[in-house]
Amino acid sequence: MADVRGFDANQVDPSTDFEPIPAGKYLAVNTDSEMKPNKAGTGRYLQLAFEIIEGPSKSRFLWTRVNLDHPNATAVQIARAELSAICRAVGVLAPNDSVELHNLPLVIRVGCKKRTDTGEVVNEIKGYAKMEAPPVVTTASTNGTSPWKR
């Protein structure tokens, strides 16, 4: 049981069923990460949550699982390559903790696929890239310098 006194549904718009976002490239940040055991109990995966930070899909979240500890060596190799792509995209090449990858902008390439069990179309992250440098803003206050220094 949970105490929800003070909550008034009249004051909050209800959530809606989210449709998948269109396939494409999106500026995002990793907002959360957690190591979890896999379903079979034979390994662990790093689950990463990405939030889109601009455009029509702003504030939408996508998740990926990276099988860093798995009995299948190929699965681990694929996972390590994916984590390498994420690290390179955010400029943190040798993190000690996944929290070091949080809140750093990167571009995620999102695709759509049909689930084999339900036929439902869902999103999946297909790739990661560095954020392209934003344009230099030239105003009297910036003197031609970019506010996005890396």
Mean pLDDT of the chain: 89
Residues 6+ apart with CB under 8 A from 26: 52, 54, 55, 57, 107, 108, 110
Residue 124 to residue 118: CA distance in whole angstroms: 16
Domains for the chain: give ranges and CATH numbers. 19-130 (2.40.50)
State the pairing for strand pair 44-52/24-37.
antiparallel
> Is 0.85 surpassed by the pTM of this model?
no
- In tens, the pLDDT along 79-127 reads 999 999 999 999 999 999 999 999 999 999 999 999 999 999 999 999 9
